Chains A and B, each alone.
Chain A
Amino acid sequence: ETGVTQTPRHLVMGMTNKKSLKCEQHLGHNAMYWYKQSAKKPLELMFVYNFKEQTENNSVPSRFSPECPNSSHLFLHLHTLQPEDSALYLCASSQETRANQPQHFGDGTRLSIL
Chain B
Amino acid sequence: DQQVKQNSPSLSVQEGRISILNCDYTNSMFDYFLWYKKYPAEGPTFLISISSIKDKNEDGRFTVFLNKSAKHLSLHIVPSQPGDSAVYFCAASVTGNQFYFGTGTSLTVIP
Contacts and interface: CB of A to CB of B under 8 A. Distances in A.
Nearest to A56: B98
Contacts of A58: 98
B73 interface: no
Interface in A89-105: 90, 92, 94, 97-105
Contacts of B88: none
Given A42-B2, A43-B89, A43-B101, A1 B45 contact: yes
B31 A100 contact: yes
Contacts of B103: 40-42
Nearest to B102: A42
Interface residues of B, number: 27
Nearest to B4: A42
Among A4, A45, A103, the most chain B Cβ lie within 10 Å of the Cβ of: A103
Among B41, B44, B98, the most chain A Cβ lie within 10 Å of the Cβ of: B44
Contacts of A4: 43
Interface in A77-95: 90, 92, 94
B69 interface: no
A107 B44 CA distance: 8
21 contacts: A1-B45, A42-B100, A42-B101, A43-B44, A43-B91, A43-B99, A45-B98, A48-B98, A90-B43, A92-B43, A97-B96, A100-B31, A100-B49, A101-B96, A102-B34, A102-B46, A102-B49, A105-B36, A105-B45, A106-B43, A107-B42
Interface of A: 1, 4, 6, 40-43, 45, 48, 56, 58, 90, 92, 94, 97-108
